Chain A
Amino acid sequence: MYGTGLAKGLMLTLRHFIDSFVDDLRYGLRKYSHSTDNFGLRQGTEAKGVITVQYPDEKVAVPERFRFVPFLIVEDEDHPTRSGKDWCTSCGICAKVCPPQCIWIVRGNDPNTGRPVPEPEAFFIDIDICMNCGYCAEYCPFDAIKMDHDYELASYDRTSHHIHDKEKLSKPASYWRSIAPTRAYEEMLVRGTWEHKDAAKEARRGSASPRASSRAQETQAEAAPAAVATAAAEAPAPPAAAPAEGATPWSEDDAKREERRRKALERKAKRAARSGG
């Protein structure tokens, strides 16, 4: 009969209309409770349709791999020895691999010797050019540049706000661990420690028995993930709290580093004495 197809379609829209209320009733007042379980369920595959996200009051948290604009990792402020130090060694791979070429790095030079030091002197990213592709983070050999999850960046003036300099780009390592606990943990496994790759290498070179120390780090790492995941899921907390005895992951390295520094000083003193003599 002419018109049945039309009626069928209209029935479907009616069903959608009714379903949306039935769904609301099913959750009742709980839909206003901002409960996380509720939200995940209603935005997942089991829900019917999509339920509007009440944006500023509730936000769809972005997944770990999400990429927006890049940021640089610096050591946490409460790090005992490297507080506030860059992870970046200014190797320049991010600037080379950047498709629209929006990264500028000034390699740092030692003011006295003029030799390059493994830290960038300046770092700029023009976020008006950046295409959020994530290559810089993907190909950085030092895990020093990462893609941020903070998308709330709208501004009224692009000339002053859209070239991010080093100060604006720098965020602590704990922040990265808080926004991407799983990936931070995987990277840590590859590096072997929560420390920066160079620091880890130094530590390994410094320790008398490298195999033993790496085994120690492994066991530590095995203990870490669960703690990291839970800690990071709730708040930006450094995984310092990970090991059960409360020691920081770098405390073990600290002793070695102290030892090494003492030895280096001794050597230096000896050399100075020799050249002076």
Chain B
Amino acid sequence: MDLNLQELERTEFPVPAELENNIAITSLSQLYNWGRRNSMWPMLFGLACCAIEMIATASSRFDFSRFGFEVMRATPRQADLMIVSGTVTKKMVVPIVRLYNQMPEPKYVLAMGACASGGGPFKEGYNVVSGIDKYLPVDVYVPGCPPTPQALLFGMIALQRKIDGQSIANGDDVPWYGIGPAEPTPVPVLGPDIIDPRQMDMIRRQAEAAAEDMAMVGQRELPSATQLVAAKVATAETTGAASAAISDDALSFVLPTGGNPWTEAEEIREKRRLRALARKAVRASRRSAEAEEE
């Protein structure tokens, strides 16, 4: 692998021109992240349709080894990254959480495809978990059904970017260097339906309420985005106002544009737009020149 020292350099410590590509001054975090992100070993672990595209990504045409996702490890003990590639069922989520607990830290989860992100087309099914993030922390979501190999590669590069942005000094970024052993994720139980141990109290309350023939109690806190979308629709209904007016206020923070951690896509689009504009201008000038000649 060719070593690109510029990747590591930090602008606040300039290197004399004659030493460029020989010396790089960097921070510990950056060096650590650089090493880490270029040796992300995914777990050899396929769930459904997306797994086939994952294999295609690993094969010679797309070859994710180029990014250091070098070897797929069949054991969780040697893996850094879990690619949840496909529909997660209630029956399967139990082993998945166990596997996650067995992975050594630092560990990352990439939800590949619509099913792993949010249940996908099978969401309404009685045996389908609507998104692995109901049980595990997910770092990158790759939409698509299934994502093409290039879309998966994009997601993997996105994960590398995320790692780049982390700092050893920040406990939120690298919780695994805290004091004491890390908490394992509680493993769900297959009862009459799947039971998340974290929700035990809630299930008990509901069961008690049901036993006393009362209505279900308790209101779940909605995720802010959809709550706002719902509010937006509600206002639209009551006021009958035009959509433009609502999308300005309510939706501006539903779909934040400023705080987006992943701006590459936007950058690409912007570049593409500028390119197109430039071409358009060239064409226009050519056309006007031709018109003048005539």
B205-259 residues at the A interface, CB under 8 angstroms: 223-226, 229, 232-233, 236-237, 240-243, 247, 251, 254-256
| B123 and A129 within 8 A (CB) | yes
- A165 in contact with B247 (CB, 8 Å): yes
In the complex, which range does the number of interface residues on chain A fall in? 35 or more
Contact A55 B150 (CB under 8 A): yes
Instruction: Specify which chain B residues have a CB less than 8 angstroms from the CB of A9 in the assembled complex.
Output: none
Whether A158 and B232, one on each chain, are in contact in the complex, defined by CB atoms closer than 8 angstroms, is no
Indicate if the CB atoms of A100 and B140 lie closer than 8 Å. Answer: no
**Residues in chain B near residue A132, CB distance under 8 A:** 144-145
Contact between chains at B117 and A162 (CB < 8 Å):
yes
Name, among A100, A108, A128, A163, the residue most crowded by chain B CB atoms within 10 Å (CB to CB): A128
Minimum distance in angstroms from A44 CB to a CB of chain B: 13
* B76 touches A (CB below 8 Å): no
B162 to A59, Cβ gap below 8 A? no
In the complex, A124 Cα to B251 Cα: how many Å? Answer: 12
Q: How far is B146's CA from A130's CA once the two chains are assembled, in angstroms? A: 10
Is the Cβ of A154 less than 8 Å from the Cβ of B241?
no
Closest to B130 in A: A128
Q: In the complex the two chains form, what is the Cα distance from A62 to B148 in whole Å? A: 10
| Stretch of B19-27, B151-159, B185-193 on the interface side | B151-159
Does A151 sit within 8 A of B, measured CB to CB? yes
Q: Are A151 and B151 in contact (CB under 8 A)?
A: yes
Residues in chain B near residue A52, CB distance under 8 A: 60-63, 66
Query: For residue A200, which residues in chain B have a CB less than 8 angstroms away from its CB?
Result: none
Are B131 and A122 touching (Cβ within 8 A)? no
- A13 sits at the interface (CB 8 A): no
A118 at interface, CB cutoff 8 A: no
Q: Which of the 9-residue segments B99-107, B175-183, B271-279 touches chain A?
A: B271-279
With known contacts A55-B150, A165-B251, A154–B155 Cβ distance under 8 A: yes
Residues of A within 8 A of B155 (CB): 154
B144: which of A50, A51, A68, A158 is its contact (CB, 8 Å)? A68
Residues of B within 8 A of A126 (CB): 118
- A111 contacts B118, CB within 8 Å? no
Q: What interface size band does chain B fall in?
A: 35 or more
Tell me whether A46 is interfacial, beta carbon within 8 Å.
no
A60 surroundings in chain B (CB, below 8 A) = 150
From A56, A127, A157, A234, B114 is in contact (CB under 8 Å) with A127
Nearest chain-B residue to A168 (Cβ)? Answer: B255
B139 in the interface, Cβ–Cβ < 8 Å? yes
Asked if A37 is an interface residue, CB under 8 A from chain B, the answer is no
- CB pair A154–B229 under 8 Å, yes or no, is no
**Partner among B114, B236, B268 whose Cβ is within 8 Å of the Cβ of A129:** B114
B130 nearest CB across to chain A (Å):
8
Known: A128-B114, A152-B150, A156-B158. 20 other contacts (CB 8 A): A50-B60, A100-B121, A108-B243, A122-B236, A127-B114, A128-B117, A129-B121, A130-B121, A151-B150, A152-B265, A153-B143, A154-B143, A155-B141, A155-B158, A158-B118, A165-B229, A165-B247, A166-B247, A167-B255, A237-B280
Q: B-contacting residues of A (Cβ < 8 Å)?
A: 49-56, 59-60, 62, 68-69, 99-100, 106, 108-109, 111, 114, 120-122, 124, 126-132, 150-163, 165-168, 234-237, 241, 246
Interface set of B (CB-CB < 8 Å, partner A): 60-63, 66, 111, 114, 117-124, 131, 133, 138-145, 147-148, 150-151, 153-155, 157-158, 162, 223-226, 229, 232-233, 236-237, 240-243, 247, 251, 254-256, 260-262, 264-265, 268, 272, 275-276, 279-280, 283, 287, 291
